[in-house]
């Protein structure tokens, strides 16, 4: 059995690093975007309930909004500090690009992060623990 569990903050940080929130295993993705059904090391089922990807979308959307907010606030502060009257078009094009690129680039991290957040918010039930132990490598 793999008992590498840590506290809630470390669990979420594991997800942000594209690792299993339960054991810290790295190989939880098949390719760039596809999350495995279970962790290959500890057997944790990532998609524990219907609607799992709604949380992934929420995390990804929140990160995208945060990046856009920071960029827009930096632009507003720059315009105020320099009393610039430059064109708004480059900023708008940049924001559209951010709105397209960030969700794609962050998708895998959002998926692993949501799986870790789900684990923190809803610890495994005894039957899920048993199922994970059966599915773990070396079991």
Residues in CB range of 24: below 8 A, 6 or more apart: 4, 6, 14
Q: Which token pair is 72?
A: 């827009």
- Give me the average pLDDT of each 10-residue run along the chain (139 residues): 76 96 94 93 91 94 98 93 88 96 96 96 92 78
How many Cα atoms are found within 13 Å in the side-chain-facing hemisphere of 87? Answer: 5
Tell me the pTM: 0.86
Q: What is the pLDDT of residue 84?
A: 81
Residue 138: per-residue pLDDT: 54
Look at residues 14, 24, 10, 15 and name the one whose alpha carbon lies nearest to residue 112.
15
Residues 6+ apart with CB under 8 A from 10: none
């Amino acid at each position: 059995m793999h008992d590498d569990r840590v506290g809630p903050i470390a669990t979420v940080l594991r997800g942000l690093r594209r690792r299993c929130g339960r054991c810290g295993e790295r190989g939880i993705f098949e390719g760039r975007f596809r999350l495995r059904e279970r962790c290959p090391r500890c057997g944790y089922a990532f998609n524990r309930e219907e609607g799992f990807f709604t949380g992934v979308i929420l995390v990804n959307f929140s990160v995208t909004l945060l990046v856009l907010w920071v960029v827009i606030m930096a632009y507003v502060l720059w315009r105020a500090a320099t009393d610039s009257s430059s064109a708004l078009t480059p900023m708008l094009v940049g924001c559209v690009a951010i709105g397209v690129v960030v969700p794609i680039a962050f998708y895998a991290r959002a998926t692993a992060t949501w799986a870790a957040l789900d684990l923190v918010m809803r610890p495994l039930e005894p039957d899920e623990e048993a199922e994970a132990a059966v599915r773990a490598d070396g079991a």
